[in-house]
Structure 1
Amino acid sequence: MVGTKRSNNKLIIRYVIAGILLLVMVYPYLYMVLNSFADWSQVDKKLIPTDYSLKSYTWLFTGGDSGITRPWINAFLNSVIVSLLSTFLMMAFGVMVAYALSKLKWRGRDTVNNFIMFHMFFPSIILLIPSFLIVQKLGWYDSYWALIIPKGVSLWAIFMYTNFFKAVPTVFIEAARLDGASDFKILYKIMLPMSKSITTVVFLFLLMERWTELLWDMIMVSSDNMLTLNVLLSQMFGPYGTYPGPLYAGSVLLTVPIIIIFIIFGKNFQKGMQVSLK
């Protein structure tokens, strides 16, 4: 009995510690959500506001005291279009390159693989200016092309798919080739269905990374109708810095789609993480 009580006490202590740590991690986001709904007289005045209203969200979509209508719906649609198309390109390109690096034999394969690994250690900001100049020369500046095409390649996606495809037995591929299947058909009929778990992980990480991209989107567009949601939100810190409530509301709107997607793909994400960590 004494041993049981001690084990129960230890278990309770662990739950308490875990609960405190969870609260510490979650509270900043909870604070942001509460202040987005708080009355403006209580924003950033209390740890937990007591008076709530929709004034901050109303201000976002009507322009509030400034009288300037902010294109939030248009910016949201831009973010959706840019994020989904960029993620699709990154995954499609990553799958094809990974298949070539893992299952096809060709001269220079190891060199290309080593170059990709080497290039992953370089911070992307190093190539920011050359990329900007190339986009300008191509005439893509301030267009969807500038926001999507240069962001259509992910070395991390190539790395993840390459490691996963290497673990797939070549017996399946050889059997498919005996039946007359092409490499393209093998890739999309055999390899991809077997990689659903890792595909979920890659999709969620790439989508989240592209959705929250700020620096590239700020540099590549200049007109209001091409702004993405995160760029529009960042602009509020200038002329609209005196309105903290709408800032919190805009931040909440920026995070809601990612939360919904993680809820939908949560189980597949867990399975994919278990596979990728093995």
Structure 2
Amino acid sequence: MAGHKKKSLTIRYIIAFLLLLIMVFPYLYMVLNSFADWSQVDRKLIPTSFTLHSYEWLLSGGQSAEPRPWIRAFFNSLIVSTGSTVLMMVTGVVVAYALAKLQFRGRNFLNNAILFQMFFPAIILLVPTFLIIQRLGMYDSYWGMILPKALSLWAVFMYTNFFRAIPDTFIEAAKLDGASDWQIIFRIILPMSKSITIVVFLFLFMERWTELLWDMIVVKSDNMLTLNVLLSQMFGPYGGYPGPMYAASVILTVPIIILFLFFAKQFKEGMQFTLK
């Protein structure tokens, strides 16, 4: 009996390892080919000769005589992604608190409207949003990239469900002590929501970090280019260079991987709540 259980457990471990390998191998393949000699890129399943040629070619501007603003583009992406994520989280917390804990006329209608709006693709608002930003004089600026991404209905939905699980007694006790709604949100509700906040932060930051279409439309000058836009411009004429393309993909994923590894424990706790 014990031998049968041990054999069954071994089979499960083998199956889990194979599934993990299937999921991880595409990324591993990309990393290996980003360091592979160009003569082996996409020609061997696992390259045997490695070099930094792809990264050197990429960071030197490829075949262009003018160096590309990689460092500036990286910090542009960091500023835009961080600013947008912080605004989305703040607006998400405030709106979710109102929907979950405040009583006001039209609350159910507003909640249903938010859920209904989540089914619409964001691209349908692309043109009117661009026209508004242009008329406000925010074209080719940080504000033009950040403000249109200042609200996430998904963040509102996630926070609303979490806040509803927090007992109202905490809020009633705080109001008896004279706390305002803003104090309740940022001193009581938000500290109790660390796990779900990490999940929301990681997903929102990842979504904004990988944004391409909006930044491509609203940015004109080289100094305002984000990393995604710079890479897309570069690989239009250089699509026949797979090694540097793999290197560029690795560069884009590194910040996301670092964040996930740093917040792995909190992310796991938050995901356990969302799956309940």
TM-score range, shorter chain: over 0.9
Q: Which amino acid aligns with 1:238?
A: G
Q: Which amino acid aligns with 1:212?
A: T
- Report the equivalent of 1:218: 216
Question: Displacement of 1:194 after TM fit?
Answer: 0.7
- Report the equivalent of 1:199: 197
Q: 2:146 aligns with which of 131, 145, 148?
A: 148
Q: Secondary structure at 2:243's aligned position in 1? A: helix
Q: Counterparts in 2 of 1:1-278, with a 5 A limit?
A: 3-278=1-276
Q: 1: distance between equivalents of 2:198 and 2:117?
A: 24
Question: Displacement of 1:65 after TM fit?
Answer: 3.7
Q: Quick one: percent identity of the two aligned structures?
A: 70
Indicate conservation of the 8 Å contact 1:233/1:251, yes or no: no
Structure 2 gap segments, 5+ residues each: none
Structure 1 gap segments, 5+ residues each: none
Question: Displacement of 1:64 after TM fit?
Answer: 4.0
TM, length-normalised to structure 2 = 0.97
Q: 1: distance between equivalents of 2:71 and 2:92?
A: 31
Indicate conservation of the 8 Å contact 1:236/1:247, yes or no: no
Question: Displacement of 1:236 after TM fit?
Answer: 2.7
Q: Deviations over 1:192-238 (max 9, x none)?
A: 11111111111111011111111111111122211111121222331
Q: Secondary structure at 2:178's aligned position in 1? A: coil
RMSD after superposition: 1.2
Ranges of 4+ aligned residues in structure 1 off by more than 4 Å? none
Worse-matched range after superposition: 235-244 or 268-277: 235-244
TM, length-normalised to structure 1 = 0.96
Q: 1: distance between equivalents of 2:22 and 2:196?
A: 30
Q: Secondary structure at 1:195's aligned position in 2? A: helix
Indicate conservation of the 8 Å contact 1:60/1:72, yes or no: no
Q: 1: distance between equivalents of 2:21 and 2:42?
A: 19
Q: 2: distance between equivalents of 1:14 and 1:170?
A: 44
Question: Displacement of 1:124 after TM fit?
Answer: 0.8
Q: Which amino acid aligns with 1:141?
A: Y
Question: Displacement of 1:8 after TM fit?
Answer: 2.2
Q: Which amino acid aligns with 2:7?
A: N
Q: 2: distance between equivalents of 1:172 and 1:4?
A: 50
